[in-house]
Structure 1
Amino acid sequence: MSKRVMETFKLSAIALSLVIGLSACEGDDGATGSAGAQGPAGEQGPAGADGSDGANGTDGANGADGVNGADGQAGADGANGMNGQDGQSAPVLTRLATVPTGAEVTGAFLTDEGDLFFNVQHPSDANSLTESVNNKPFNKGTVGVLRGVNFNNLPKTIVNSPVPETQEERQVVVSALGEYQIIGQTNDTFAELGDAGLAGGLGVHYGIISGEKIIENNAPDFNGYVSTGEGEGYLFTNWEAYPGGVSRMKVEKDEFGSWSVSEAMMVNFDSVGGTAANCFGSVSPWGTPLSSEEWIVNSTVNSTTNASWNDPANTSTDNLEKLTAPDFPNPYRYGYTVEITDATSAAPVPVKHFTLGRYEHENSTVMPDRRTVYSSQDDTGGVLFKFVADAAEDLSSGTIYGAKLTQDAGSTEPATTGFDVTWVELASGNNATIEAWIAEYDGIDTSDYVDGLTSYMSLADVQAWANGDANYPSVADGGSAVTAGQPMDDRAAFLESRQAAKMKGATAEWRKLEGISINHDRALEAVGGVESIEGEDVKAAYIYMGIADLDNTLTDDEGDIQLSARVKDCGGVYRAKLEENYDLARIEPVVMGGTYRSSLTGAERCDVEQLSQPDNVIVMRDGRIIIGEDGFQENNTLWMYDPKSL
């Protein structure tokens, strides 16, 4: 994420309304203006208790020169707008829940029936409080749901859940709606289910070859729900570690909204050589979970250093030694989107889609055309990727693209600066062809390492491809021994996707580009013209993108993105309107965290009442979005934001 010198200042319509909204939320005791006609007691909302409901008791948007009376407008419109009241259409950010000390909010997933699942990832093992709802402490990775509430039928105004103050509140999930019910925790065996239980333990990883326990994983990430009927279905959960893992629990909801587990398993990935660090994901429109492999790539896009995974002095690079694959692991077999087909059968079948490219996948989201896929890269210097399949519901063949961004001229403020988007075509391919290229690197081990050379694709290899050269360079010219002098092919686009995209001119400057999400039905109505949202004529739909922190390549003075460092690690959320054929042509900020305060430490660096390192985003049927924090707050928050306030 990067910086740019301030030129002439330009505000889009969305950005300008955001600035106005933020002003309404944080007015000072401002010069009350020329008293104005004191106005009727504020026509826009309830009378407003003379500003007592205002942000910190302010007297309105800096007095607004007495518009509607200094007090009437302030109480009803300015302050209460922040918490979703009937105010002045200020940005509405509502605290839905907080998670226990040490934990991140992960795995938010909203079902078609309105059930909201989310996880408590790696909470502190010192959490010992056993509360009445679950009778279990939150000291293990936890998969759960907010029971008793339909998120497809929420009121417009919701009262915030409190910021935890007591030791008891800090150790549990505190919610504004419903009750958080634990579905499963790390190492649960569900022994009461007999043969339908999970003797090895939920989230526990075993070696592919040895069969020995490797880790009890406290990091449940993505949840994906595949319905098998009203109130029942399979809940898939990513467990983010080495080797990776995905659990599947058959869950059912009773008439009171409580959930039970009737079957549990860990998906078998042996057929694809295992997985690495399954992070976030999505469920395709045809009902298959898409799990993302993260952490395994080490694409040094801004460096001149070639890959050296088999260096005997440093075989721990990218934690390859933890994959326990046969012999020495081939790194090109990891770092992809994995589709879990036959999701509801007795034995789900994983398929790695090499076609979507190899990089630090956060998640891939399929559009309603069932062909177009947008994917995020969670790293420094990352790329926004697009893939278009040759055929609907078949990700095994298609074309991959990288996004080229053009920043608004003269604008560097994160809350107002947008980007025009064009797409750089990288290559077309299919899984079979790409896997044949991958197989050429099988069997490489430490005995093949030569200091100063690489056994894998080199930067010179990728550059030769980007230049359109007829052949790969020789070893003497910096090429790899595997391809030296051979006719050129497109493996660079799929095995070293970030470097390939950058060398072709795409923007490789995102910093921690996290979750990407749409609401399928809103997108289908707005772009596909199919009436899907009852009671609303949806004219525009958006894809939302979480950014955990606006730093490093987003705020330096190089490249396509040069933002100011004001927001920095507080992060924010962007969106892009879905155009014809589900294309993206423009990305704009929706809501940003507050000003980062580097002079402070810990949680105080970002305002607890604003975003703090947002991770993943999901879109509700009514257009509101749910945002999970993955940051340094003592109790991270699950937020709801209403972009209609813009």
Structure 2
Amino acid sequence: MGLALLVPCALPGFASAAEEVKVKSTEFVGMTAPASVQDMARLYSTASLKVTYTDGSVRSFPLTYKTLFKTTDSVNGTPAGLAIDAAGKPIMDNSVPSNPVPFVSDDPDSNSLMKIEGAAATGKGGNPLSLITHYEYITTNNAGKSAYGMVPASMSLTTIDQNKTSGELTAVDLKKIDFSSVDGLWIPCNGSLTPWNTHLGSEEYEPDARAYEADHNETYTDSFAKSYYQEEAKAANPYAYGWLPEVTVKADNSTDVVKHYSMGRFSHELGRVAPDLKTVFFGDDGGNTMLFMYVADQAQNLSAGTLYAAKWLQTGDENGGSANLQWISLGHASDSEIKSYVDKGVAFSDMFETAEQDTPGFTKIKTYPSGKVEWLKVKPGMEQAAAFLEARRYAATLGATSEFNKMEGVAFNNKDKRVYVAMSYVEKSMEKDTKGADPTDDIAVKKIRAGVVYEMPMTGGQKDSSGAAINSEYVAASMKGLVAGVDLAKADSKGNTADDEHIANPDNLAFSEELRTLYIGEDSGMHANNYVWAYSVDTKKLSRILVTPAGAEATGLQVVDSLNGFSYIMSNIQHPGDEMILPEPLKTDVEQQINKNFENKRAGAVGYLHGVPTSKQMIEWKDTDKSLSVLRDTAEAKGAKVAWNEANRTVTITKGGSSLTVKVGEAAATLNGQQVQLPYAAKLENERTLFPSGILNSFLK
């Protein structure tokens, strides 16, 4: 090989159509599970994307995790995770009377990174972007006691500067979003960006209105209202919470907030809108939950529509099970109709009669949030109120299946018309009821504590259980397990009770149309460290692409295939170091390191995986030096040998009779004994040598 091979020789625009090089395939090269104390206590990626071209060349694009901010960081004066009351003032934590401090969440969740047309420049020279982030709850107060659900939650709107050359993101301003017009925000879990560029949030674990009516201490409702309105005697209403809020960001950085009461009240993990811009699927988190679908009357308008609940008609019990789905209509409503019931103060007892045993005219059910067997009868004229305020209880009386367990994230594969849903733990109500204690036993699948991601093909021309047509081309007709975790018979040396090379307790889901990849984020008590995985729906390969600190949950997963020409995988972490399953003394060592990295476990992190190229960049950067490749991955993929010399920090690649020696940190290399200049220095990042891609590929030809 000669020196000329180090110079990209293919000039844009001179190749004939027959010689045009295209992308043949893409593949994530995953990372190993963390082994050291330091790695088990940090948030990082050493994964890469390998691109193979039709001319046989291969290029490796390294991924790097970049933190935008921690929840305890102040962005232009505002702590990111700050809890605020109805007046926009900080809610104070007085658990230590001598040291009152504001409540600041350690639990960031959903991200919606978006471009708002007409937004003002950031002042840093890049493209202005907007980012909405959830702060789901606060793990502990200043005294170290649980604060879960007791303090109103929040969302932030962050102004982001997107570097026009590198695509890197920088937070330049942050403000808290005002929810006072909709009674505050209750436990926002995941969310999604709608196809019309608004943020669709969530309110998870809705308060049990029946329990609240019997005893106000049975839910967090009063504590929430007292904190939010800063009024000791403020009347609380459990039916004000458990909805999907939609947030619209305007060019002047102001926001509009609405709650969509017509979409039903239940434990909203999130809602995801189908490509028809009107069909919505949901996660319903908790035990004994349901699969719901909403079909809006009009595209891009979620203020009125028909709500459906699924009945599982089982066809198999392996790999999470399989079933045909029958949809039961709960009725039609508008937001204003259902909100009128909330405003009137309608109570559980206004909608339902109850019994304590099998009684003629009463239906025996078991659903979240009570998780107990109940006998219910809807009062005449209260069907609509019951259907939307108590969607799960009402649907159960109509025969819908309420046996799903920990139903979490949802994602769409538009090309294949598939919707994916994560079931974090396939157990309990999803197992066969061998005691015959439950009202129904629709779901009777084999237990997989490590959970399953299901796929549901969508189609049109479907009818509901009454024979009425469903006005959607995106109705899920069946459901089966796609990606399953693997339970271990006993814990391994790190405390894992699920196989560390497979998913465990899937939660967040997101799908890349460009890469044909399903991303899976974990919320597991079965893995010592939680991960984000990339699953190719074509090759079925599963690759670990992000490691979170022990005890942290991977949250806020969003895929942006192209935004001003750059791709992003948004991903956050919650509560690092919480309830670690590591054995001693490893647990203590890792915990000490987590305390150093994350403010004594009081800080979550908001950030993204950087380095995934768009389909356009894969071609444009093929023979240029716009980015760096992972030297070892790229060289070994082409049959070269790679040797690392720790003493002088050099890497030597040999192929055929040629050798290339690279020293980390220097903008020069040695080719067959002769020194050549590089456009920029090779560097070491996350224990990987990164090297100018065009030059590396030229050498390997």
1:613 aligns with 2:505: yes
Conserved in 2, the CA contact under 8 Å of 1:297 and 1:359?
no
Gaps spanning 5+ residues in structure 1: where? Answer: 1-152, 191-196, 300-305, 445-453, 468-477, 524-537
Name the TM-score, length of structure 1 as normaliser.
Answer: 0.62
SS at match of 1:591: strand
**Which AA in structure 1 matches 2:67?**
I
Moved over 6 A (4+): 463-467, 483-486, 599-602
The alpha carbon displacement at 1:257 in A equals: 3.0
The aligned residue for residue 73 of structure 2 is: 188
Could you give the per-residue CA deviations for residues 321-365 of structure 1, whole angstroms, max 9, x where no partner exists? Answer: 565346121010100000002454432011000111001100101
Q: Note closer, same or farther for the CA distance 1:550–1:245 as it changes in structure 2 (3 Å cut).
A: same
Match of 2:176 in 1: 266
Q: 1:208 to 1:512 in 2, by over 3 A?
A: same
Letter in structure 1 aligned against 2:31: S
Letter in structure 1 aligned against 2:183: G
> 1:156 aligns to what SS in structure 2?
strand
Name the residue aligned to 1:276: 186
Aligned partner of 2:556 in structure 1 is none
Paired letter, 2:443 = I
Q: Which residue of 2 aligns with 1:441?
A: 345
Aligned residue number for residue 152 of structure 2: 243
AA aligned opposite 1:291: G
**Which 10-residue stretch deviates more, 633-642 or 211-220?**
211-220
Structure 2 residue identity aligned to 1:545: V
How do 1:212-223 residues align onto structure 2 when only pairs under 5 Å count?
212-214=90-92, 215-223=103-111
Give how far 1:311 is off. 1.9
Relative to its length, the structure with more strand (as a share) is 2
Secondary structure of 2:190's aligned partner? strand
Q: Secondary structure at the match of 1:274?
A: coil
Cα offset for 1:294? Answer: 0.6
After the TM superposition, which residues 409-428 of structure 1 pair with which residues of structure 2 at under 5 Å, given as runs? Answer: 411-415=316-320, 417-428=321-332
Q: Does 1:358 align with 2:237?
A: no
- SS in structure 2 opposite 1:332? helix
Deviation at 1:310, TM superposition (A): 6.1
- Alpha-carbon distance change, 256 to 484 in structure 1, aligned in 2, over 3 angstroms: closer
Matched, 1:224 2:224: no
Residue 252 of structure 1, CA deviation:
2.1
Describe how 1:407-486 pairs up with structure 2 within 5 A: 407-408=314-315, 411-415=316-320, 417-441=321-345, 457-458=351-352, 460=354
Contact 1:465 1:488 in 2 (8 A): no
Describe the shift of the 1:239–1:310 C-alpha distance in structure 2 as closer, same or farther (beyond 3 A). Answer: farther
- Which residue of 160, 166, 180 maps to 1:256? 166
Q: 2:43 matched to which residue of 1?
A: 173
2:322 and 2:479 in contact (8 A); partners too: yes
Deviations 1:237-270 (A, max 9, x none): 1110231211111112211232112321111101
Describe how 1:319-358 pairs up with structure 2 within 5 A.
320=224, 324-325=228-229, 327-358=234-265
Residue of structure 1 equivalent to 2:679:
none
Residue 627 of structure 1, CA deviation:
0.4
Structure 2 counterparts to residues 17-416 of structure 1, below 5 A: 156-175=26-45, 176-177=47-48, 178-190=63-75, 197=76, 199-208=77-86, 211-214=89-92, 215-228=103-116, 231-241=127-137, 242-254=151-163, 255-298=165-208, 306-309=210-213, 311=215, 314=218, 316=220, 320=224, 324-325=228-229, 327-408=234-315, 411-415=316-320
Q: How has the CA–CA distance of structure 1 residues 643 and 314 changed in structure 2, closer, same or farther, with 3 Å as cutoff?
A: closer
Q: Which amino acid aligns with 1:186?
A: T
> What's the CA shift for 1:225?
1.4
Q: Tell me, in whole angstroms, the C-alpha distance in 2 between the residues paired with 1:592 and 1:498.
A: 27
Contact residue 338 and residue 352 of structure 1 kept, 8 A: yes
8 Å CA contact retained: 2:88, 2:178? no
- Residue 227 of structure 1 deviates from its aligned partner by 1.5
Please report how far the alpha carbon of residue 165 of structure 1 lies from its aligned counterpart in structure 2 after TM superposition: 1.2
AA in 2 matched with 1:158: F
Q: Tell me the secondary structure at the aligned position of residue 436 of structure 1.
A: helix
Does structure 2 retain, via aligned residues, the 8 Å contact 1:244–1:278?
yes
Residue 207 to residue 407, structure 1, CA distance change in 2 (3 Å): same
Q: Does 1:627 align with 2:524?
A: no
Structure 1 residues 379, 464: CA separation in 2 closer, same or farther (over 3 Å shift)? farther
Give % identity. Answer: 27
Structure 2 unaligned blocks of 5 or more: 1-22, 49-62, 93-102, 118-125, 138-150, 364-373, 434-439, 461-472, 541-701
**Of the candidates 443, 463, 488, which is equivalent to residue 561 of structure 1?**
443
Q: Which is higher, the Rg of structure 1 or of structure 2?
A: 2
User: 1:204·1:217 contact (CA, 8 Å) conserved in 2?
Assistant: yes
Report the Cα offset of residue 279 of structure 1. Answer: 0.6
| Distance (Å, rounded) in 1 between the aligned partners of 2:174 and 2:256 | 16
Contact 1:380-1:553 at 8 Å conserved across structures: yes
Matched-pair contact (CA < 8 Å) for 1:297–1:318? no
CA contact 1:320–1:331 (8 Å) conserved in 2 = no
In the alignment, residue 529 of structure 2 is paired with which amino acid? N
Number of residues paired by the alignment?
435
Alignment partner, residue 62 of structure 1 = none
- CA-to-partner distance for each residue in 1:128-172, whole Å, 9 max, x for gaps? xxxxxxxxxxxxxxxxxxxxxxxxx99623322121111221222
SS of corresponding position for 1:235: strand
Classify 1:510/1:183 alpha carbon distance in 2 versus 1 (closer, same or farther; 3 Å).
same
* 1:573 maps to 2:453: yes
CA deviation vs aligned residue, 1:509-546 (integer Å, no higher than 9, x gap): 11111011114xxx2xxxxxxxxxxxxxx4x2311111
Q: Tell me by how many angstroms 1:460 deviates.
A: 3.5
**DSSP 3-state at the match of 1:494:** helix
3-state SS in 1 of match to 2:483 = strand
CA contact (8 A) 1:590 1:643 kept: no
> Which whole-Å CA distance do the structure 2 matches of 1:354 and 1:260 have between them?
36
- Between Structure 1 and Structure 2, the one with more helix by share is 1
Post-superposition shift, 1:220? 0.5
